[in-house]
Amino acid sequence: MTPEYVIVGAGSAGCAMAYRLGEAGKRVLVIEHGGSDAGPFIQMPAALSYPMNMGIYDWGFQTEPEPHLGGRVLATPRGKVIGGSSSINGMVFVRGHAKDFDHWADQGAQGWSYADVLPYFRRMETSHGAQSEFRGSDGPLHVTRGPRRNPLFDAFIKAGEQAGYPVTADYNGQQQEGFGPMEATIWNGTRWSAANAYLKPAKARFGVQVIRAFARRVVIENGRAVGVEVSRGGQTEVIRASAEVIIAASSINTPKILMLSGIGPAAHLAEHGIAVVADRPGVGANLQDHLELYLQFASKQPITLYKYWNLWGKAVIGAQWLFTRKGLGASNQFEACAFIRSSAGVDYPDIQYHFLPMAVRYDGKAAAEGHGFQAHVGPMRSVSRGSVTLRSADPAATPVIRFNYMSDPSDWRDFRTCIRLTREIFGQEAFAPFVRHEIQPGASVQSDDELDGFIREHVESAYHPCGTARMGRRDDPMAVVDPENRVIGVEGLRVADSSIFPRITNGNLNAPSIMVGEKASDHILGRRPLAPANLEPWVNPRWSVAQR
């Protein structure tokens, strides 16, 4: 059986496309280098710190030494497993702000404004929290809210209100700005990854095939993509597609595969002896990410998750989850959040908070002081841009990843603002029963220079890379794909994943990545896109004169 469509990558967008193309009766084959997502490390929400640090599930990418961070090398996890990064992420569900998508359209991604993408966000989800005309009720992706039983979650929301910020009942609905409950891709106590939501049903219902192989390059004949060269079982072979090849391999691997296929900056390809099929200088450029800091506070009361941060505590939580799919194991512990504006004159939020009732790092290392809690905070729209380039023409070589973090002076100003606004929030009356003192950065770190030193040493990636095969007008020399996801300069080839984002969205990237897969599937099928939804998002009426 020759598939009509070959999808490279069983990640967030790839799984959604496999489902929709299979549903339409198409013959679909998905190539995924990673293996099964079975087992508690992926499926138990509270175990989220494990899979992204396990070589069996993660590609293990790292940045080059970052020049503006004192030469630090930062981890760049990407999922190498069915479900892709939706199987190793924090399960946080954030669509992004309406104005993010209007900006995409302004940048040449015609048909991707908020009115255009909202119907796809609705189609993909079943919302178990808020119900409104902004939300979906019968999609494959279940979106839920944690129980917020720990009093610290409500203290965080109340503190934001006391500081003068709005409270929002649904940041994924009409009003993103404000403090409120956080949403997650968790269903029945289990991580509801793109594999669980889309790929497994697509295999069972529509006969979608998944093979485990390493994609080396796209095979292009007479200017048309006709298949994918893969390695599996120690052999190199070509898997042919009778209709189209779709790359959905992540913002790191997608540009790598394009360049190995002869699509990219001509001079860079020539350096590696790769014949140029399409000179697209935008391939690998425009790399973006979110950085964040963990601001940590010691707790006056022993009510944080630290009491479970031992072998016995973890065993009890794990056993309860295994037998009942309930308890602390059934939550990612991100149950309260906020989106705020950094200053007057900023028209929509540019700072995001994740609140966590424990002082701990993403790699699972707890703060030395015991009971504590933290806010992850960072600016959403850094102007710094990096790149993904080839290390060599060998497909097995890892790509060269340079984010160029903190390369613009505005990044430093924005992070100092984040720290000072966060301290003000934790200084509110709602936190008086809970805050003992500041662990990190520490009360003595106050001046701009001291804060910059802390930022340089402690800022971490939020793991939201995107933008390396940007969508735009066909006459835009830096665009890689057009608004129908077609690679410019090659027939029969599309890209649909976070690499096509013209600019990073406001929040975590899993939700907009799945939306891209949903919308791209209609373009691939030649269907008329869903009718625009002309609902009016909320924008703070005082944005031009007030920060809150």
Catalytic hit among 103, 268, 464, 523: 464
Please tell me the predicted confidence (pLDDT) of residue 466: 98
My answer on whether omega of the bond before 51 falls inside 30° of 0, hence cis, is no
CATH number for 138: 3.50.50.60
Q: Is 542 within the bounds of a domain? A: no
Are 31 and 213 in contact by the 8 Å Cβ rule? The answer is yes
Q: Is 39 within the bounds of a domain? A: yes
Q: Is 543 within the bounds of a domain? A: no
CA distances from 3 to 90, 170, 202, 239, 482 (A): 34, 41, 15, 9, 24
89 marked as part of a ligand binding site: yes
Return the closest-CA partner of residue 356 out of 379, 380, 338, 381.
338
Q: Is 85 within the bounds of a domain? A: yes
Q: Is 544 within the bounds of a domain? A: no
Q: β-pairing, 28-32 with 209-212?
A: parallel
Q: Is 497 within the bounds of a domain? A: yes
91 marked as part of a ligand binding site: yes
Please tell me the predicted confidence (pLDDT) of residue 1: 76
90 marked as part of a ligand binding site: yes
Q: Is 45 within the bounds of a domain? A: yes
Please tell me the predicted confidence (pLDDT) of residue 360: 85
Place of tokens 């898997």: 239
Are 532 and 141 in contact by the 8 Å Cβ rule? The answer is no
81 marked as part of a ligand binding site: yes
**97 has catalytic annotation:** no
- What are the phi and psi torsion angles at 239 (to 5°)? -100, 115
Q: Is 471 within the bounds of a domain? A: yes
Query: How many domains would you assign to the chain?
Result: 1
Which residue segment(s) compose the domain that 229 sits in? 5-524
Residue 369, judged by CB atoms within 10 A of its CB (0-12, 13-18, 19+), counts as: middle
Please tell me the predicted confidence (pLDDT) of residue 362: 65
Please tell me the predicted confidence (pLDDT) of residue 361: 74
92 marked as part of a ligand binding site: yes
For residue 367, the 8-state DSSP code is P
Residue partners of 432: CB distance under 8 A and separation at least 6: none
Return the closest-CA partner of residue 11 out of 235, 253, 225, 194.
194
- Ranges in the chain, pLDDT < 50: none
